[in-house]
Chain A
Amino acid sequence: MVASEQFLQVVTDQIKLVRDEIGKVIVGHDDVVEGVIIALVSGGHVLLEGVPGLGKTTLLRTLGDAMHLDYSRIQFTPDLMPADIIGSMILESDSLGSKELRFQRGPIFAHLVLADEINRATPRTQSALLEAMQERTVTTGTTTYRLEDPFLVMATQNPLEMEGTYPLPEAQLDRFLLKLIVGYPTKAELEQIVDRTMASATPPVHQVINQEQVLDVRRAAHEVLIAPHVRDFAIRLILATQPEQEEAHVLARKYIRYGSSPRGAQALMQAGRVRALMRGRLNVSIGDVRELALPALRHRIILNFDAHAEGKTADQVVAQILASLPEGSA
């Protein structure tokens, strides 16, 4: 391991450079940019939810440019087939006239995959993508192909047009490390966006980090220290969202039908490490857990009828649980 003070400083600087490069194109949405970087470095995937036109595709393309990573975009439609994502066998003839079947890789074989409006594809197609996300392999016939690291799927959902969609099952939502809400830009940000659009030339995005360096950052993130009291806080938070648990919060018993799975705790720890590293720290703090609780848990909690009837959202419930959770020593 390359654990040295100089190396850690380099890693921190590189992440900062990536953020700066993305900032050249993407105005605002710092939390979304940070969440995507956290998901990429920690080896997870991210689900973005927001109305069209907020720069989700631009964000991912810029990230690929800054990190010199392959980028592909899949527009999910109801007639999209799994082969359209993972690839298919095609009959190919060589110069000698002999023919053979060859696997034509689909768009899933990229470092950064944008699955646009993932909820418009059929569950069969969604499953093909989600299997690749989880196993990081693609199997066709008898051959299994490994996806190359880093591998990040950034799926988007349009919350407005729900007609003719296939909402992702909870089991598949659980496979996303973070769920980020992309909101509207502020007035200042919107003015900046308009100015950049009206400009004659778009600012160029430079490659500041390569694939190997991204993997180094990931390895360094795995070494970030987690003290017992921080880990205990994250575990208590997860238990507090599970209504059947003895440690469940009163709001969980009232509003939550299914609480967070253990993947929630894993997501908090993994994402917390990267977040700490991005801030130049070598330890995860309770503040990291608090900041990441909403994106890590909001899609892992299923509310019950009472919560829907009272207009409660998962964010509100998690925020209230988080606010009342003590930070006692482990």
Chain B
Amino acid sequence: MGTSEALLNVVERARKRACAQVTLREATVALTIALLGPLALAVLGTELLPAGFLVVFVLAGLGLGAYRWRRRQPSPYGVAQTIDSAWQAEDQISTAYYFASHPAEAGALTPYQNQKAAPLALAGDLARALPFTLSRSTYALGAVVLVLAALLGLRYGTQSNLSLKPPLAPFALPSLFAAPEGDELRRDELARVEGKRDEPAQSLRKDSRLEQPPEPLESEPVAIPSDGAPSGDAVPGAEAALPEVEGLSVDSDFGDELATGSGEGEDGEGQAEAKDASGSNSEPGADQGKPQDGAPSEESNDLLSRLQDAFKNMLSSMKMDPPSGSQPGEPSAQESGQSSPAEGAPTGQEAGGEASQAGENAGESEGSGGAAPEAPQELTQGESGSESSGAPPEGSMSSSAGSNDGDKSLSESAQLEAMGELSELYQKRAEDMSGEVLIETQAAPQQLQTPYTPTAAGHRDLGGQVSRDEIPFAYRQYVQKYFEALRQKSGN
């Protein structure tokens, strides 16, 4: 055997040894990964982890092991360098091997190099150059085996058998993703409300301006166009849509009264008292629910008091005593109005339901007024509560009239006449109205949703604020004229 062959033979033997080492190392890696499957199974059990997942781990281990094994296959030249390094052969073996395997690049000294390197290669101990050592993957494999054995032992100790079906520790995985009970209730309520809301929304779509999404209150001046289109057209449509418009509690109540004209005479006083109660209770709640609205200003309070005075005057002029049937509804309304804002939604619904069951519609609006934090939803919820009980709208109106059903037609006819006059006034005013109205609002972003405000309006940030209970300045005189007309009618 020549020196070159001897050298190549030694290097080839060394390479096989290195390949065996790599195979062993990567096999331990693959086995470690494959054992992670039984490890997970021992923890989770076949109830949570199907046994088919074992195949995934095995395949992953085999795939990764094969990939790493293929990548880490040593080349003979690299093995020769490793031998040189281990034997401190000053790169003689690797150099001789390289030039022996690449004769084209061999120089004049190549044969002498082979002669010097071959004895070194033959005399060396391959086991010393490429020793079998425990790799880190071996330690990892041992750790996995130990943990697996411990888990199986624990499982046997706790269950007295080696059944892998139940998980080692009870996992309440569904509870991690399930919503709380209160959320479910609220979600159901919302679903019901959405279903109810779709119906009036269809009626709302008839009015094109109300189809537009309510614009947030911007810090720009409100420009009411001089053509009066918003006031002239919006009011009737808005009145019709008042109960369904979100974000308006007192105005919607007022709009109900304007649109239907029901119950003012019968339970107006009690309602006014309830409004006091609901106003005093619901407004802070509304402030909590929508902090951008801020506290109601003195001006709005003044307006409220004037509205209440107007209601009282109107009732006194009509000389109608509050019906006795409305008395039972007041406590429930006040209770619901005094309920905490956090409990507004269920309370409003309960109040509405109770009122419908008792045939007392008075509690309906007060119940909604007490649901300040989610005022739009609770408004509709209160109504839905009453409507879901199967009572028709007429029934609710008659129930609000209470024992004075005989007076209802008279009051309705009177109010319908007043409504006609009010519409005429609006149209006349719309023809004459010009200029701009500035509404001072708070600097914080606000959202004003009221049928009295044109959707194209803007508000300038001048430090003031608008309460939802406030009648816009442009409409105040019409409201006053409306009530004056009512008084005159009733006086006549």
Contacts and interface: CB of A to CB of B under 8 A. Distances in A.
Interface of A: 1, 3, 5, 8, 223-230, 276, 279, 281-288, 327, 329-330
Contacts of B75: 329
Contacts of B81: 229, 327, 329
A281 B108 contact: no
Contacts of B249: none
B90 A225 contact: no
Contact of B107 (A223, A285, A327): A223
Nearest to B85: A327
Nearest to A230: B91
A288 B90 CA distance: 9
A282 B78 contact: no
Contacts of B90: 276, 279, 281, 283, 285, 287-288
B116 A282 contact: yes
Interface in B61-103: 75, 77-78, 81, 84-85, 90-92, 94-96, 98-99
Given A329-B75, A329-B78, A329-B81, A227 B91 contact: yes
B85 A8 contact: no
A225 B77 contact: no
Contacts of A276: 90
Nearest to B97: A227
A227 B109 contact: no
B113 A282 contact: yes
Q: Please report whether the interface of chain B is mostly helix, strand, loop or mixed according to DSSP.
A: helix
B214 to A, nearest CB: 60
Contacts of A225: 95, 99, 107, 109-110, 113
B77 A3 contact: no
Nearest to A4: B112
B67 to A, nearest CB: 21
A8 to B, nearest CB: 6
Nearest to B81: A329
B115 interface: yes
Which among B90, B109, B110, B112 has the highest number of chain A CB atoms within 10 Å?
B109
Contacts of A224: 109
29 contacts: A1-B108, A3-B108, A3-B112, A8-B112, A223-B107, A223-B109, A224-B109, A225-B107, A225-B113, A227-B95, A228-B98, A229-B77, A229-B81, A229-B94, A230-B91, A230-B95, A276-B90, A281-B92, A282-B113, A283-B91, A283-B92, A283-B96, A284-B91, A284-B95, A285-B91, A285-B95, A286-B91, A329-B81, A330-B77
A97 B115 CA distance: 68
A276 B85 CA distance: 17
Contacts of A279: 90
B93 to A, nearest CB: 10
Which among A1, A223, A283, A288 has the highest number of chain B CB atoms within 10 Å?
A283
Which among A227, A228, A276 has the highest number of chain B CB atoms within 10 Å?
A227
Nearest to B92: A283
A271 to B, nearest CB: 16
Contacts of B110: 225
B73 to A, nearest CB: 13
A327 B85 CA distance: 10
Nearest to B84: A285
A1 B110 CA distance: 13
Contacts of B115: 5
Given A281-B116, A282-B113, A329-B75, 10 more contacts: A225-B95, A227-B91, A282-B112, A283-B113, A285-B90, A285-B91, A285-B92, A329-B77, A329-B78, A330-B77
A276 B89 CA distance: 12
Contacts of A282: 109, 112-113, 116
A227 B81 CA distance: 10
Contacts of B78: 329
A261 B90 CA distance: 27
Nearest to B82: A329
Interface in B218-250: none
Contacts of A223: 107-109
Interface string B387-420: 0000000000000000000000000000000000
Contacts of B116: 281-282
Nearest to B99: A225
Contacts of A5: 112, 115
Q: Lowest 10 CB-CB distances: which A-B pairs, in order?
A: A283-B95, A285-B91, A3-B108, A227-B95, A285-B90, A329-B78, A282-B113, A282-B109, A223-B109, A227-B98
Nearest to A5: B112
Contacts of B98: 227-229
A26 to B, nearest CB: 27
A230 B81 CA distance: 10
A286 B90 CA distance: 7
A65 B100 CA distance: 42
Interface in B103-124: 107-110, 112-113, 115-116
B423 to A, nearest CB: 83
Contacts of A286: 91
B19 to A, nearest CB: 15
A254 B99 CA distance: 39
Nearest to B115: A5
Nearest to A227: B95
Contacts of A284: 91, 95
Contacts of A226: 95
Contacts of B109: 3, 8, 223-225, 282
A228 B75 CA distance: 14
A252 B91 CA distance: 28
B118 to A, nearest CB: 13
A288 B92 CA distance: 12
B418 to A, nearest CB: 89
A266 B78 CA distance: 25
Contacts of B84: 285
Nearest to A289: B91
Which among A3, A223, A229, A279 has the highest number of chain B CB atoms within 10 Å?
A229
A276 to B, nearest CB: 8
Contacts of A230: 91, 95
A104 B75 CA distance: 62
Interface string B139-176: 00000000000000000000000000000000000000
Contacts of A283: 90-92, 95-96, 113
B82 to A, nearest CB: 9
B229 to A, nearest CB: 71
A228 to B, nearest CB: 6
Contacts of A228: 98
Nearest to A8: B112
Contacts of A288: 90
A246 B85 CA distance: 28
A262 to B, nearest CB: 22
B79 to A, nearest CB: 9
Nearest to B74: A329
A151 to B, nearest CB: 26
A288 B84 CA distance: 14
